[in-house]
Structure 1
Amino acid sequence: MSPTIRGPMAAQGVLAETLLPVGALLGSIVSLSVGTSFAKRLFPMLGAEGTTTLRVGLSAVMLVLLWRPWRLRLSFADARSLVLYGTVLGAMNLLFYLSLRTIPLGLAIAIEFSGPLALALVVSRKPIDFAWIGCAILGLGLLLPLGGLSSGLDPVGVACALGAAVCWALYIVFGQRVGHLHGGCAVAIGMSMAALVVMPFGIASAGVALLDPAILGFGLAVAALSSALPYTLEIVALQRLSKQSFGVLLSLEPAVGSLAGFMILGERLTPTEWIAILCIVVASIGNTITGHRRRNRGVAVGVSPV
């Protein structure tokens, strides 16, 4: 093959290799946001607790059937770490869905991002890192119900979102402890443990409504959109993208969540709330770009687990 032909074909191959993982990750973010938006439609029938139970429970079933984690041999230390990992995952999902009762999806995601962002910045030592801290604090200050310039969001909803943020940071910590295990099996076990954590709350809230065939069918679609499909697409992206590029793209999730909330749920944000989301997105992107030098310390924002 002549160089004149090989050159354009090689360029097309490189472009395809770049577009595939980027498209996969963006598809994952959109799928997660759309799935969560549809999940919110179940609140009148199941409540936030019942919706969480249905979504996490069905996701666990899908992941267990897909990865067959019973083949994984675990030490006592690994089993304990997986229990902690799954417990935090369940608490994070429950708190996040509780926050959605009173605050818009995009804002809940933005507040939740403060958890992994704080974890990544806690090891910061460079002056530029304090710029990202300031940017994140400004965004949160515009959202938290503290009066003044804040958007006056419901305090309970904000508290639940902040609780989910803390859980996301702990999820990363415990997730690193099981990082040497098979990823799919570890997530399947973790999601199963999460289902056990949230199930009592869901049964108390929704009762036998969880077994309604129509609701189960809708819940299955929600679980596929918000867990099975995003996780599969993220695996494709992680295999081909650097952690830095992955983190930058993941930082767009609050904005995508806001758009999904607007298009599916009719959630309208004020200019102040959009500015707050922009501040948090910029802080997350900035931290990802400048923080790649700290990777050997094992701190990263990681995959969105909600």
Structure 2
Amino acid sequence: MPEAAAAHPRAAVGRRVALGPVALVVAGGLSVQFGAAVAVLLMPRAGALGVVTLRLILAAVVLLAVCRPKVRGYSRADWGTVLAFGAAMAGMNILFYQAVDRIPLGAAVTLEVLGPLVLSVAVSRRPVSFVWAGLALAGVVLLSGGGFDRLDPLGAAFALSAGAMWAAYIVFSARTGRRFPQADGLALAMAVGAVISLPLGLAEAGSKLLVPSTVGLGLAVALMSSVLPYTLELLALRRLPAPTFAVLMSLEPAIAATAGFLVLSQALSVTDALAVALVVAASMGAVRSQAGGRAAGETRTK
């Protein structure tokens, strides 16, 4: 009995530690999806590529001003990681906003999340990951209405491509977090993404990007969809394995559907609610499996 009593507090501490990075991921998901809903409202003013440019440039300005990252003392491999992270970030945003310009927000995120799901299965070494990924995939398919034939084909293709870039973003975000202190690597990568998107945004929107009200909304999108969520995700990836993080990304369609309902007046059906329950169950299972795996590993090392 004394041994059991002593083990109980340690288990409670372990659960709190495991939930810490999970809370960061969920908070980031809420921020990025509600920011995406605001971005949809901004697109008639600046176009999809203009919104991406505003988002990345303003986010880069904020992060560079706050972090003030140093540019000396890093290796060629460090800079290669930052460049890859920035390119993945720019590609993910460009493709995703092209998608939501053509198909509903919830459907776009539903297709996009397939990228992280595939990543979670591809790199995981635990058989149970297939169970949680499969459950999350069932929720994603259910949220889509059982098929994507009613969607604009080009919009669906953009969303699927954004999912592939999202998987790359997860990989390089984790590597950047390990190589750079605090959010310095994120700030540098955001600047890279802004430079990549600038010519495209100028070509589509031109002087519309300088309208004060448009800039104000763009700043809101930058803070909600880039600065806050990317910082939270980078911090979470320092303590979460990539497969678990990827399965947690299955929450994004549910969050996007909620944001679409509250901001864009897109109603949730009973089927949507069931899909939400499936992805939440999958995410909870992934977290519990991760916590159990860590506890078992700690036991074996004692």
TM-score (norm 1): 0.75
The Cα shift of 1:254 comes to: 2.5
Give how far 1:113 is off: 2.0
Name the CA distance, whole Å, in 1 between partners of 2:240 and 2:144: 34
Q: Indicate the residue corresponding to 1:106 in structure 2.
A: 106
Aligned residue in 1 for 2:11:
none
1:203-218 aligned within 5 A:
203-218=202-217
- The one-letter code of the counterpart of 1:163 is S
Aligned equivalent of 2:128: 128
Q: In the TM superposition, what is the alpha-carbon distance from 1:87 to its structure 2 partner?
A: 0.6
* 1:177/1:244 CA distance change after superposition, 3 Å: closer
Closer, same or farther in 2 for the Cα pair 1:109/1:289, shift >3 Å? farther
Contact 1:104/1:258 (8 A) holds in 2: no
Q: Summarize deviations over 1:48-91 as a string: whole Å, max 9, x none.
A: 11111101110011111111123452212221221111111100
The match for 1:224 is 223
Matches within 5 A, 1:168-183: 168-178=166-176, 179-183=178-182
For 2:198, the aligned partner's letter is M
Contact 1:144–1:153 (CA under 8 A) maintained in structure 2:
no
Residue in 2 aligned with 1:157?
Answer: 155
Q: Which SS does the other structure have where 2:179 is aligned?
A: coil
Unaligned stretches of 5+ residues in structure 1:
1-13, 296-306
Between the aligned partners of 1:198 and 1:74, the Cα distance in structure 2 is 25
Q: Give CA deviations for 1:235-276 in whole Å, capped at 9, x if unaligned.
A: 787799999997776543322221111111112355445545
Is the alpha carbon distance of 1:25 and 1:177 closer, same or farther for their aligned partners in structure 2, counting shifts above 3 Å?
closer
- For residues 90-113 of structure 1, the C-alpha deviation after alignment (integer angstroms, 9 at most, x for no partner) is 000111111111333233223222
Q: Provide the rounded CA distance (Å) in 1 between the counterparts of 2:25 and 2:69.
A: 25
> Given the alignment of the two structures, is residue 187 of structure 1 paired with residue 149 of structure 2, yes or no?
no
CA distance in 2, matches of 1:214, 1:61: 18
Q: Give the Cα separation in 2 of the matches to 1:144 and 1:252.
A: 14
- For 1:239 and 1:200, the matched residues in 2 are separated by 33
User: What is the CA–CA distance in structure 1 between the aligned matches of 2:29 and 2:102, rounded to whole Å?
Assistant: 22
Partner of 1:301: none
Q: Distance in 2 between matches of 1:85 and 1:20?
A: 24
How do residues 232-271 of structure 1 correspond to structure 2 at under 5 angstroms? 251-271=250-270
Cα RMSD (Å): 3.8
- Aligned-residue identity in percent: 41
Cα contact 2:133–2:247 (8 A) shared by 1: no
Residue 94 to residue 71, structure 1, CA distance change in 2 (3 Å): same
Q: Distance in 1 between matches of 2:144 and 2:251?
A: 20
| Structure 1 partner of 2:92 | 92
Per the alignment, do residues 91 and 277 of structure 1 end up closer, same or farther by CA in structure 2, a change over 3 Å counting? farther
Instruction: Report the CA distance shift for 1:114/1:288 in structure 2 as closer, same or farther (over 3 A).
Output: farther
Letter paired with 2:84: L
SS in 2 for 1:41: helix
Change in CA separation of 1:134 and 1:252 when aligned onto 2, cut-off 3 Å: closer
> 1:221, CA displacement in angstroms?
1.9
Residue 196 of structure 2 aligns with which residue?
Answer: 197
One-letter code of the match for 1:122? A
Alignment partner of 1:30: what SS? Answer: helix
Say whether the 8 Å CA contact 2:251–2:279 is kept in structure 1. no
In the alignment, structure 2 segments of 5+ residues that lack a partner are: 1-13, 295-302
- Between the aligned partners of 2:81 and 2:48, the Cα distance in structure 1 is 27
